[in-house]
Structure formats: structure tokens, C-alpha cells
Structure 1
Amino acid sequence: MESFTPLTAVIGGSLIGLATAVLWLGNGRIAGISGIFGQLLPPAQTVVWRLVFLVAMVGSTFVVAKLFPQVGMGGSVPAALVEAPDGWGIATPVWLVIAGLLTGIGTKIGNGCTSGHGVCGLARLSRRSLVAVLVFFGVAMVTVAVTGVV
């Protein structure tokens, strides 16, 4: 976290807000990634816009990481996936699969994800989203304290 720069945070946050507004105004949909992804299997009638949105999101992130590697982690360290904590004896791919599964289960139980609740729900002043975001951040803080991974 020692590489925080307000400018990149403002630009990134603005782009996320703009993308959310464009999707809502243009398609009438909330930019909740778990909901968008979750409706791909089994395919819903609205599969095309979901695929376009997800491919554009992942693709643009990849392109920006390649074009501006210094923005990723600050300085000369390029963006990279987090490694599993040392001493836990879990390989990084297994660690990522476990994290992904826990995230998926949590989004199903919580009826949404950080993007749906945090960006869209809070903007709509949803109390349910406020509670969800507080729980997300609380669990994240405990996870960082337990694993030591930032």
C-alpha cells in the first residue's frame, strides 16, 4: 500500500463510476459482476451484453497493465497476482481457487458482490448494501491480519 497515489485512485474510481452509469443508463442493468457472470451459466437470454461487458472489463485491465506497468504496484514493480502466504504450505494456484470459491459462495449468500453493493448499492443509498459492504471490509481486514498478505 506504500504506492498509493491519489491521482490514479481518482482516475480509476471515476472510470468505474462512468462504466457503471453507462451500463445502467444504456442497458438498465446494475454493474454487479457476480450477477452478470452468474447469468452466463446456464445462458440467459441476455448473454451477449454480459459477455461483451466481461470481456471488455478483463481486456481493458490487461491492456492498461501492459501499457502502464508502473501504475500497477507503484514505481518499477509491474502489476502481478498475489502470492500465497509463506509458511502456509499452499500453492498459489490452489490459494487463488480457494479464494475464488469463497468469494463466489459469499456473493451468492450476500445476494451480490462488492461492485454491486459497494458501487451501485451505496450510490442508491441501500441499507442492505451498506451492511454488506461493512461485512466485506470487516472480513477483508481480518483476512489481512491473519494472512499478512496485503
Structure 2
Amino acid sequence: MVSIDWKSDLRQRGYRLTPQRQLVLEAVDTLEHATPDDILVEVRKTASGVNISTVYRTLELLEELGLVSHAHLGHGAPTYHLADRHHHIHLVCRDCGNVIEADVGVAAEFTAKLRATFGFDTDMKHFAIFGRCKDCAAEAARGATTGSTARSSTTES
């Protein structure tokens, strides 16, 4: 559900909370990390006449106003989430596609080193780290153990 803060924030900046903006905000809220196409599918459950260009324009405006934020979690379209949630880094599992939100504080030492070494201030809320989640890592380890056990038993024969 759209919060009163969003409505007042839009009004203070001279914008109205149109039905399309409300639907896009609600879709972003519901879906969390969603591409514009995902958001369109969600919006069309309520308003079938909304098109992808409306979603893109709305997301662009909402991001300019600081209501939504985007991140690039792979080679496809950016994903959007509400900006009023805590700032976080996206940990993206290359195996299952799961996205874990880690507080930006876990990267404090890294960002401090970048600032000290290069004078570079980071925008960590757009940052994604790719790797393997603990479940997929455990599955891969089981597979490696099973594979090495199978190889060693055929070698011993």
C-alpha cells in the first residue's frame, strides 16, 4: 500500500499521486527487486491499459524524487526497489539468482579504503556482488564430494 509520506512528498514537489504512479509504487513495494517488465505485469493486473513506456517514465520520475532506487543485478534491465528502505548491497547468487540484501555497513572498511586510496566516495546502494549463496555453495560442495567419491571408487576398482 502506498504510504502517506509518498503522497505528501509528491505534492510538496508539485506532483500528484496519479493512479499510474500509485500502481507502480505499489508494484515496486510488492515485488521488491523488480525489472520494469515485472512491474508492468504487476500493474496490468489492475490497469490493463498501462504500457511499458509509462512504467519507465514513472520509474524515472520516482527515482529523481528519491522514492525508488535501482541496481544492476546482472546483464538485463535494472531492478527497482523502494528507496526508503535501508541502504544495502545486493549479493546475487549466480546459480539460483537469489538476491540477498546486506547492510552497506559490511563494506565500511572497503569504502574507507577506496576513499583513502583514491579519494573516491562510493554509492553502495547501486552495488551488486556476484557469487554463490550458502545453499548453492553447500549443494556444490555435496556434488564435488559425491563426484570425487565416485571417481575414487572407480579408480580403486
Tell me the TM-score normalised to structure 1 length. 0.24
- Which structure: larger Rg? 2
Relative contact order higher in (CA < 8 Å, ≥ 6 apart): 1
**Could you say which structure has the higher strand fraction?**
2
**Could you say which structure has the higher helix fraction?**
1
Tell me the TM-score normalised to structure 2 length. 0.24
